[in-house]
Amino acid sequence: MFNAFMDDQQLLRYSRHILLPDIEYQGQEKLLHSHILIVGAGGLGAPIAMYCAAAGIGKITICDFDDVDLSNLQRQIIHDTQSVGINKASSAKQFIQLLNPDIEVIAVTEKQTEASMKVIAKNVDVIIDGSDNFATRYALNRIAVELKKPLVSGAAVGFEGQISVFDMRHDKSPCYHCLFPDTGDRNETRCADNGVFSPTVGMIGTSQAAEVMKIILGIGESLEGRLLLLDVKSMQWKNIQLKKDPSCPVCSK
């Protein structure tokens, strides 16, 4: 863990943050003493983890039980050719430790139940969904609602992506279930089955990283109550306003 004050090496490493009036020394200290949970170390989780680690978020827990496959390397840039066959969370940890050895990284390599994931999420500041399936997204949403944690959610497939923030610290915030009700019959649209343009996940993932840091720093306007849609082919972002569902069975109990 970090000391009460940054040393000379940390001051130099994070100097471009410290120069920003919205961050300065105090803001960088907030980042250094924060703890985030990233679920998924794939196309979205890779840029999220890389930028959050580079920015100095002091403790990062990464969950992923899959192993790196050669087909992942087209977009999951936290892994390299030598990572093939290695667990993704472990591979991501290795990269982060090289990128920023000050960061504490916890790699969760076993598949989790919702109950065990809730225990992991209990002491984090922000939950980040970098998964690729609705079951995980709904579970993380329920956990965020129960623990009253901010959830930064992203998804990408083909040339399209989306990102939103569900900040369950605020009573008026919609949750993921408000946006996508769980009817039990959703068809999965996954990169493995449908393909993905590699920069798409990078653009969504880096946007998620920005939202995470804004939440920790308490700066700017988050994507709470908004869904941002990206069409890479036309290079257009579309902003959709979201409202809490007063009859949502998850967040309006």
CA distance 151 to 155: 13
Q: Any idea how long the chain is?
A: 253
Answer whether residue 3 shows pLDDT above 50: no
Q: Which residue range is the domain that position 169 belongs to?
A: 34-241
Task: State the total domains in the chain.
Answer: 1
- Binned at pLDDT 50, 70 and 90, residue 186 comes out as low
Read off the pLDDT of residues 125-161 as tens digits, 9 standing for 90 and up.
999 999 999 999 999 999 999 999 999 999 999 999 9
Identify the sign of the CA torsion 66, 72, 78, 82.
positive
The whole-number pLDDT of residue 192 equals 63
Read off the pLDDT of residues 163-173 as tens digits, 9 standing for 90 and up.
999 999 999 99
200 lies in some domain? yes
Task: Report the relative pairing of strands 104-108 and 59-63 from DSSP bridges.
Answer: parallel
Here the tokens at position 85 are: 């066959």
Residue 61: CATH number of its domain: 3.40.50.720
Answer whether residue 193 shows pLDDT above 90: no
The whole-number pLDDT of residue 194 equals 79
CA distance 109 to 67: 9
12 lies in some domain? no
54 lies in some domain? yes
User: What is the number of other CB atoms lying within 10 angstroms of the CB of residue 65?
Assistant: 13
- Pair 90, 109: CB distance under 8 Å: yes
Catalytic residue status for 63 = no
CA distance 60 to 62: 6
List, in sequence order, every residue forming a beta bridge with 165; answer none if it has no partner: 152, 224
89 lies in some domain? yes
CA distance 45 to 206: 9
Mean pLDDT over 199-222 rounds to 98
End-to-end, the C-alpha distance of the chain in Å comes to 38
Between vectors from CA 87 to CA 83 and to CA 91, what angle results, nearest 5°? 50
Annotated catalytic residue within 175, 178, 191, 251: 191
The whole-number pLDDT of residue 190 equals 61
The whole-number pLDDT of residue 184 equals 74
Mutual orientation of helices 88-99 and 45-55 as an angle, nearest 10°? 30
249 lies in some domain? no
Answer whether residue 216 shows pLDDT above 90: yes
- Binned at pLDDT 50, 70 and 90, residue 182 comes out as confident
